[in-house]
Structure 1
């Protein structure tokens, strides 16, 4: 018998603990059971009647303020006086074997490493939480939005240069529109749909700022593996590579915006889908011909009724409006004063 590595951050000493197969048999038998672990301070493993819950009591001199960050593990204080203990338990049978190893690990930290009970439980919980934490990848809508902004960034850089283009890109943390070009503010809206239907999240998202023109750039993407298609990681690499060659001082800003979107380089392999433009980008001026909903659109309600509107979200169909990227009017809408 010797050391055995578990999914926790330290090995457990298997010479001190009842073998899992024996503990599992007690669970199947359905009888209440107590299994002391030899050492000091006192630690007792337990099984409730019917084998519905297993756990451990870690005896201590004071009550604990610990709470569990994991939904399947419960922590509470039990007993009083010299019988005070911190109870750690789970009622999920699918986790019993792993949780048994968890309890043994905490016991070793308390009895062998002489760690305080709270510290031993906290450290083991932290290591297990880190091991099972799911990687948070970009949602489909965020991926689509970022893809569209990067494609438009490359378009802008081809017209006014990389330094000015990156300065114009406001990123997701800004309260400004997506791009503040010299002549026009721009909201970039991207979709994977067959129509230019875009989700608008508030009354003010498409409201021009005083003294500034506003345009929407509509980006339609579709899945594909043919010529011209690329994945999000490939597009990011292309943007960074070109910006580095043309205006090295802009790379830090680009990376900052990517991070704010939730991008992490180590996740690149998780984004394998490739996309290309379904149709050229379109530029649509936000003017009287653009069917947006802004506060002025609801002025007829009166101030009392308008004040009761907490949130407005809507889908905007831009098919057939504005000008496509392959026309001179596209550049005129966005870049000419």
Structure 2
């Protein structure tokens, strides 16, 4: 695995933006993923950052229907000499597009390509176009305040992120927070994962499971973290939790990544007035999702069923719950 990082991609772009000359493009090769070549580039004038993914020309016309990006353009590079024998697709940040979001998107697209099981050019092209289309869909959304339910879910994820930063992971825990990037689980930690569900005191703990893959994954160990909050005057609201983590990320030089992940989670400072409900954590438990855990599994669901959303009654689980710190230890990060 290459281990793509947002900061590494940014460093390459910074070098290229200082090299403006008479050419329309500047490129630097990053890596190869099977038959796919990865370059970062800058398009002039303006030094607009770009990610270029090129495939063998033997793929003929290439994938059908390039997504219409929002905040970035998706274009075929037909005239550049270095790509004349290849099909090169470029993602180019628009001048009004957020560099933070574009950088996180570039790293996520590369991780998606690298994680694809096959090295068949057509399959890699389909995975690439599909991931870019997912980002286009996200950037097309109208930004509205988070619902009460989504605020509670985000509070739970941020609470666990803060807890992970107190382990040996330190600020690098932000790299484990993959839920905003469409990962099946909220946190990917080594070979394992944690899916976070949150509820309010006084209610039955009903967890919405958004896909079959959320609790039926190859990652191991896989834990369901169940966090129960209470509304309390001496608690912390979502704005305060974000401010706390912003301070920690600024100290670690990871503000850019964190801010992009917040945006991807739907958090916007313009909506802060809606996020003043103060919450206090009452209980944090973890359940090992093993072969005996009650959840839907792909092998038991007809192949014709393509998407599943269901509700899990956490209070009715018969599996013994673990203290969260014990689950973190099993994931290899001693609290």
Q: SS of 2:178's equivalent?
A: coil
- Give the TM-score, by structure 1 length: 0.51
Query: Following superposition of structure 1 onto structure 2, how do residues 106-121 of structure 1 map, counting pairs within 5 Å?
Result: none
Picking from 233, 240, 244, the partner of 1:234 is 240
- Give the TM-score, by structure 2 length: 0.52
Q: SS of 1:276's equivalent?
A: strand
Picking from 269, 274, 282, the partner of 2:273 is 269
Larger Rg: 1
Q: Is the 8 A contact 1:188 1:219 kept in 2?
A: yes
Picking from 226, 229, 234, the partner of 1:221 is 229
Measured after TM superposition, the shift of residue 199 of structure 1 is: 0.8
Q: Is the 8 A contact 1:283 1:333 kept in 2?
A: no
Q: 1:271 to 1:336 in 2, by over 3 A?
A: closer
Question: How many equivalent pairs are there?
Answer: 189
Measured after TM superposition, the shift of residue 272 of structure 1 is: 1.4
Q: Which residue does the alignment assign to 1:201?
A: 210
Q: Which residue does the alignment assign to 1:322?
A: 321
Aligned-partner Cα distance in 1 for 2:184–2:293: 20
Query: Following superposition of structure 1 onto structure 2, how do residues 83-232 of structure 1 map, counting pairs within 5 Å?
Result: 136-192=144-200, 194-209=203-218, 212-226=220-234, 229-232=235-238
Aligned-partner Cα distance in 2 for 1:174–1:310: 17
Q: Is the 8 A contact 2:169 2:333 kept in 1?
A: no
Picking from 320, 324, 328, the partner of 1:331 is 328
Q: Which residue does the alignment assign to 2:305?
A: 309
- Gaps spanning 5+ residues in structure 2: where? 1-141
Q: Deviations over 1:97-146 (max 9, x none)?
A: xxxxxxxxxxxxxxxxxxxxxxxxxxxxxxxxxxxxx9721111211111
Q: 1:295 to 1:176 in 2, by over 3 A?
A: closer
Q: Which has the higher strand share?
A: 2
Measured after TM superposition, the shift of residue 163 of structure 1 is: 3.0
Measured after TM superposition, the shift of residue 310 of structure 1 is: 4.5
